[in-house]
Amino acid sequence: MREIILDTETTGLDPLRGDRLVEIGGIELINHFPTGRTYHVYINPERDMPEEAFRVHGLSAEFLADKPRFADLVADFWSFVEDATLVIHNASFDMGFINAELKRTGRPPFPMDRVVDTLAMARRRFPGSPASLDALCSRFGIDNSRRTRHGALLDAELLADVYIELIGGRQASFGLAEAASATRRAARGQAIQLQRPVPLAPRLTEEEIRAHAAFILEMGDKAIWYDQLPRPPEGGAALTPR
């Protein structure tokens, strides 16, 4: 399963009133694990930068003036996201801008049924609690000290960690890691011994035990049975389970 953790920065709050995208950051996940592939662009919004927006992300109109327009990079952006599920915090906001920009270039909107909103996930899981990205980083012990201002790629990186926590991925990975570790220990001959609180009553008769011990002795001292049974003392006394 391919997912893109996505974040944007904009000139304001409403794409229907002329606000535009100025930054997009994306992190690729395959089966909930980062692949190392990212997408990051600054975008010339072809308009001024309101002071309120500048205070949020620090991207000035002068800085963005020589950056590509969305129409210039839409092909690369679409090829990065088209077959993925998008994971976004407060998805309706970002998708409103993304689909408005796609519409301007004649592209179809990205389907909302392939968008996961982590804000909605957090509110369902922690009803009544703060659900901002900073609040969720604090809840899950994720270091967000670099986030002095909003930035699309940094916020996507933080959201990737938050998303894994929201879906229980870290706890699940611990279980998988322990299972893998147990398999490796067993492969090295370090079999895990599981014991019942109260041992089962033996079902073999003494005669059956002696017959089995004699059969094993015929196999020689390298028989795999000795991994679970003590080696016989000299004289060939009967083997009994450990």
Residues with a known catalytic role: 150
32 within 8 A of 169, measured Cβ to Cβ: yes
Beta bridge partners of 26: 6, 39
Residue 117, number of CB atoms within 10 A of its CB? 19
Which residue has tokens 């059956």?
Answer: 208
186 within 8 A of 192, measured Cβ to Cβ: yes
7 within 8 A of 159, measured Cβ to Cβ: yes
Which residue has tokens 């809840």?
Answer: 139
Beta bridge partners of 24: 8, 41
